[in-house]
Amino acid sequence: MTSNVKQLNSQLRSMDNKSYRALKSIQGTYEEASGRKLHIDYVQGDPFAAPSRIRVSFPLSSTPVESNHFDTTARRTAVKHYLTSSFEKTRRKQQTSVGGTGKSGMVMIDTPGPEMLDRSSVYIDQDRVEFRISCGIPAKGRKILGKQAAQLLTELIPETAEQTLRELDMHGLQRIIKLADDQVLLRQKMKENNLVAFAADGALLPRESGASSKPMKGSVIPFQSPEAFRFTFSLSDGSSISGMGIEKGVTLIVGGGYHGKSTLLQAFEHGVYNHEPGDGREYVLADASAVKIRAEDGRSIRNVNISPFINELPMGKKTETFTSADASGSTSQAANIVEAMEAGASTLFIDEDTSATNFMIRDARMQKLVSRDKEPITPFIDRVRQLFDEKGISTILVLGGSGDYFDVADRVIMMDEYIPYDVTERAAQLTDEFRTIRSMEGEAAFPGSLERPFHADVINKKLDQKGKIQARGLHQISIGKTPLPLHDVEQLVSSSQTETIAAVLKWAGKQSPRPLTQLLDDCMNLIEKDGIDAVSPFQGHPGSLAMPRRYEIAAALNRIRS
């Protein structure tokens, strides 16, 4: 039943000093003459519990947002991103504060970082614009502060939402929409030109710190493309943009330490997502199916066919269905590649610094000392070319220690004081001048299929009586009392993505047995059809969710300990 906001105001004031549990009675929808609606979907059990979930909606016709502003997927994501950020800026400017016990007076929206991800923080369609907010309803101890609760719910939160729309910077809105259009256009141009990565001239790649996504301040060297790799594309307004395009195949990024190799690779890793204006990497884009690969000592591996890289282990242990509760660097890196292939990755990003040395290379001297029949690892150098030639999977590899990779590279980029240079020809000359004496060790073809079945029991057997699956920050999920660490899943960029993955795991626990690839397809199709809300356990207000890629969902499913 729909009531009006004045009734809610009176009701809350009459609850002053009553038990906090009485607030459960205010759940519902409250409408105003203007068409603005306040939806109270969930009220926390006490002031210290998870906050209450509130929505404020407006008829689209009463807002400055027009239907053509969100008529494509990329535009819709960009507009939701912009409205969420605008609400947070308005909230911070508000002078009114409401205090009390625990989370009293807290108002929060799921504020995004620089990556423009589809989020549940704002909902928008042809009928309405809706802000989805978490708040702490004021209390003193476990008694309701009625006047303050009325002020928070019927004045402060709705007026913050209304002010956000009333004062919306339309120039900024148009700017982010144009950027979204340009990013879609550039990604299409990349496909047409067989590019797996693109970095525009003038891009600012370095970040403030390893723990920050903000651009570095001060004298930062803008990116500039080597002429040999320069591509020029038209943007949506007819202007043009130039930058370095990396074509499909095997690409090495080399150079001395601290010259920008890893910085460039990290920009490409995050280039699977579109970025907001002002980030510095707005036009640094990568194949949306690219996956960062690294060694991951101690990770759990479950029934993965790592035989293309590791075979004939001691004691006759088979690797076609390899399982380990405590994987080594080499077996974990092999599993990470195979799992990425299974999930559909078409580009791999690898940094020598985070790789297992014995997985990456076995030089001639070591080959002579340890014979092939005593070494179960087929090093990546002997598979990287085959990955592309047989499977169409490209690799961009940051390298500083092994020139043997020159033999298998299509192109070599050298970073020198953050400036890239084309040294492909020089690398080829060195290959002729200093011929390798190591032997090729990869001979067998890759398996035709890497598919594995998925059974919900792997999740359900770990649930406790409460059946909870919870995200705990960016890099950890708990299934019952069992931790699921995701610290080395490096392309997760928002804890709200982890929230969504936790919700997907709960959904996956209710699914019938099927191939893992089919489970991923079904999940992505469900979200594409019904929106990110479809995997949320909450009605109305789905909480703080942001869209992960299928590869990060697969990474979580693959790391559940059996």
What is the per-residue pLDDT across 178-229, written as a single tens digit (0 to 9) for each?
999 999 999 999 999 999 999 999 999 999 888 888 888 888 999 999 999 9
Last residue of a domain, one of 168, 203, 218: 168
Summary mean pLDDT of the chain: 94
Task: Kindly indicate the confidence band of residue 95, based on its pLDDT and cuts at 50, 70 and 90.
Answer: low
Mean pLDDT of 408-414: 97
Asked if residue 398 and residue 534 are part of one domain, the reply reads: no
pLDDT band for position 258 (cuts 50, 70, 90) = confident
Give a yes or no: residue 183 inside a domain.
Answer: no
How many domains are there within the chain?
3
Enclosing H/E stretch for 144? strand 143-144
Are residue 87 and residue 141 in the same domain, yes or no? yes
Please tell me whether residues 301 and 359 are part of one structural domain: yes
Same domain, 164 and 312: no
Do residues 513 and 378 share a domain? no
Question: 4 Cβ partners below 8 Å, 6+ apart?
Answer: 30, 31, 32
pLDDT tens-digit readout, 178-188: 999 999 999 99
Average pLDDT over residues 58-74: 97
pLDDT band at 2 (very low <50, low <70, confident <90, very high): low
pLDDT bin (cut points 50, 70, 90) of residue 440 is: confident
- Average pLDDT value for residue range 530-547: 90
What percent of the chain lies above the pLDDT cut of 70?
A: 99
At 96, the pLDDT band (50, 70, 90 cuts) reads low
pLDDT band at 442 (very low <50, low <70, confident <90, very high): confident
Q: Rounded to a whole number, what is the largest CA-CA distance in the chain?
A: 88
Are the C-beta atoms of residues 83 and 75 closer than 8 Å to each other? Answer: no
- Residues 144, 12, single domain; the answer is yes
Which pLDDT belongs to residue 508?
A: 97
- What pLDDT, on a 0 to 100 scale, did the predictor assign at position 421? 97
pLDDT for res 116: 98
Residue 192, in any domain of the structure: no
Neighbours of 561 (CB within 10 A): 15
The mean pLDDT of 292-312, rounded to a whole number, is: 94
| Cβ atoms within 10 Å of 17's Cβ, excluding its own | 11
Q: For residue 128, give every residue at least 6 positions away whose Cβ sits within 8 Å of its Cβ, in sequence order, or none.
A: 57, 58, 59, 60
Q: How confident is the model at residue 552 (pLDDT cuts 50, 70, 90)?
A: very high
CA distance 300 to 311: 18
300: amino acid identity, one letter: S
Asked which of 134, 168, 202 is the last residue of a domain, the reply is: 168
| pLDDT above 90 for 299 | yes
- Whether 234 maps to a domain, the answer reads no
* pLDDT above 60 for 74: yes
pLDDT of 444 higher than 80: no
Q: What are phi and psi for residue 260, nearest 5 degrees?
A: 110, 10
| Residue 491 and residue 423 in one domain | no
What letter does residue 447 receive in the DSSP assignment? Answer: P
| 408 shares its domain with 485 | no
Question: Which pLDDT does position 436 carry in this prediction?
Answer: 83
Q: What is the mean pLDDT of residues 144-168?
A: 96
Q: Which residue type occupies 94?
A: Q
With H, G, I as helix, E, B as strand and everything else as coil, classify residue 187.
helix
- 62 and 96 in a single domain? The answer is yes
- Within-domain flag for 184: no
What's the pLDDT band for 100 if we cut at 50, 70, 90? Answer: confident
What is the per-residue pLDDT for 438? Answer: 85
Residues 149 and 65 in one domain: yes
Q: What is the pLDDT of residues 306-351, one digit of tens each?
A: 999 998 787 778 899 999 999 999 999 999 999 999 999 999 999 9
State mean pLDDT over 477-483. 95
Please identify which residue in the block is written with the tokens 């802000």. Answer: 131
Token digits of residue 228:
């040999």
What share of the chain in percent tops pLDDT 90?
A: 83
- Dump pLDDT digits (tens) for 347-401: 999 999 999 999 999 888 888 899 888 889 999 999 999 999 999 999 999 998 8
Q: Is residue 200 part of a domain?
A: no
Residue ending a domain, among 136, 168, 200, is 168
Residue 143 belongs to domain spanning: 2-168
Q: Judge whether 248 lies within some domain.
A: no
Cβ contacts of residue 456 below 8 Å, gap of 6+?
508, 509, 510, 511, 512, 513
Structure tokens at 439: 């032997």
Tell me, yes or no, whether 405 and 463 share the same domain: no
Question: Who wins on pLDDT, 101 or 191?
Answer: 191
Q: Is residue 258 part of a domain?
A: no
Q: What is the pLDDT of residue 16?
A: 95
Residue 259 lies in a domain: no
Determine the pLDDT at residue 191: 98
529 vs 373, which has greater pLDDT? 529
Same domain, 402 and 538: no
Mean predicted confidence (pLDDT) in 238-248 = 97
